[in-house]
Structure 1
């Protein structure tokens, strides 16, 4: 097999290894009323990041999570934070993640919704991650065709 065919095969392997990561969204999933470390400042040392592709909503069949969400609520002076996968909407306001949607209501109620999809923890997993398995596979393919 010539070098061109070997490179093509190696490229296909790379794409197949990373295809799941490219379409997966990983977000923090917690509530400050259950664990105070979920509040701001956020301490993620006790939380595992959640692969949102495994999450489904019964009332929205077929809709996938495409973003991460952080909700900050103040009801009668008590703050609560919720971090989760987001299924609907767009990142930020008008596509700008620097801005969050804020609402104020009667009886001392305040809500802030922030959505994003640009990085792990608030992301789509679009960056390539090194995989030792990938290195072994490429080495085996290249050595097998000499």
Structure 2
């Protein structure tokens, strides 16, 4: 009985370690496609800096608010696509917290805008990301759980 309790505690600890994500400081790609074509889609980060959002300046019109997310803005103005990637000060990740969805707006004079925010991982504004567990995290958790089960069966 003691071994199964210990095993459960170890699995729970590993699960928490694999799935916890830091929410207060995030690093985001920072670029504009009008000055760096690699900022467009498909995104090529070979010349694009990644910025630590905690180093971003405080904005005068948003006193006390710090950036906690990344954003990607895609807009089409008069037939020309433009992309902007940076830290985000306001908003929520995706629509109702689901990063797979972005806010989209259209306007007169052939204007379209898509605004995506995320905070699931550093550099999440490289493309639209899916929030949740990473496949690598699940694989590590499954492998470690199997190994621990074998070890504890041999010991007890």
Same fold (TM over 0.5): yes
Residue 94 (structure 1) aligns with: 96
Unaligned stretches of 5+ residues in structure 2: 1-21, 126-156
Note if 1:76 corresponds to 2:78. yes
Aligned partner of 1:5 in structure 2 is none
Measure the CA separation in 2 of the matches of 1:42 and 1:75.
20
How many residue pairs align between the two structures?
A: 104
Over the aligned positions, Cα root-mean-square deviation in angstroms equals 1.7
Structure 1 unmatched runs, 5+: 1-20, 124-146
Runs of 4+ that moved beyond 2 A: none
Q: CA deviation at 1:22?
A: 6.3
TM-score by length of 2: 0.63
- Distance between the aligned counterparts of 2:70 and 2:49, measured in 1? 14
Alignment partner of 2:121 out of 114, 119, 129:
119
What TM-score does the superposition give when structure 1 sets the normalisation length? 0.68
Higher relative contact order (CA 8 A, sep 6+): 1
SS at match of 1:95: coil
